[in-house]
Structure 1
């Protein structure tokens, strides 16, 4: 399946001492023409002052849902160990309804130890966090089917990570989008591994959209040739400078045959 290129922006909720700065950045992002507005699911800044200003992910997503009209929204990504998966399913269903069916449910195993330690979650090991993500995916998927009212659509699930034995197996079983930090050489190998997992579980590999961080227009065409269609620009507060986002949008509009609307 050939998909049109899409541009996301990750408005990293760090170093913004007032929420109004984030609200303004969401408005400017939608007006600029992005396809998706992401945040992230951390409790502390990942760069700069480690105890600097920061806001919580899912509360913001509810606000994003009310504020925006066109863009899809989601977390890149929700930490796997922070929330009961049944509750997370209900949160996602609720934001899906608030947004009129524009939520992408991004999930990952988690990795930032300070988040866990400071908020009282067990950090464990990479292996235990991946095992928990696997358990949570099954529970979350089951709860989504039981909720009343049901989601407005089958909520697209994005899984972030590149582990070839466990993470890509979960991508094959559950995901509509796969976000990876792999370089081009690694991406080719991991794509083959993902295809093998899809064959093993009976998933149509073509349903899974590939997603990477934006690395500039010079790199983007090569990633498109490798099967990537979603590129996300990370932007931090307090200024939320969207100049690189605007460059990415111009590139998207040059390479796409027609305007993009939602998941292809």
Structure 2
């Protein structure tokens, strides 16, 4: 049995990515292994999953790792129904999901969910009341917040998204989201939408922040690794992977690798905070 620390819990980027091997350093635990590993779920996880897969498949060319998004709800459902080996979720699964699927959950990182706007927007911060009014559709123009005379375009994620769940619970305090909000399918789609829309406001995983979008301070605190780790930035969550029953074979090897120094270096590189074995 592999020594993966576990918690017994119950845990569509529309395109599945079959990651191709690239040159990378060796990881002796995969040498000589073969087989296929199917992973699906939360889109925030994909940068880490993809880089780990590249390292593994470089060392073990007979291993193939397919990575798909779809959101946290998809990851939980697919692994619970035995359709994939590992399901990713950006939220802690519910007790009902635990009981229904009998999953084993592995928390391997902490993440913040950052409010984001177009880089040209001069507005730099919002508080709970202001954000709630924006997403209810009560504040409709950036000039009301000291910005340009431009209509605010709301962006949100679909109901299966763990990123949305954390944003709705911790930033909006479970407040309403206007029906006029545009729904996007992934962190990547959210970044693209904000980059192309000067009136946009949306939210992405801290690990997905880049120069094409501008993070807003929330309640006076900027999102970032240090503020998430200290607890100062309140819109944060764990990143989880789960298996149906205890992980075995390639799934166990892959999950163990997340906790190695090499795996945790990749997690940090992608803007997340490595979480040790609980």
> Same fold by TM-score, threshold 0.5 exceeded?
no
Larger radius of gyration: 2
Q: TM-score, normalised by structure 2?
A: 0.29
- Higher strand fraction (1 or 2): 2
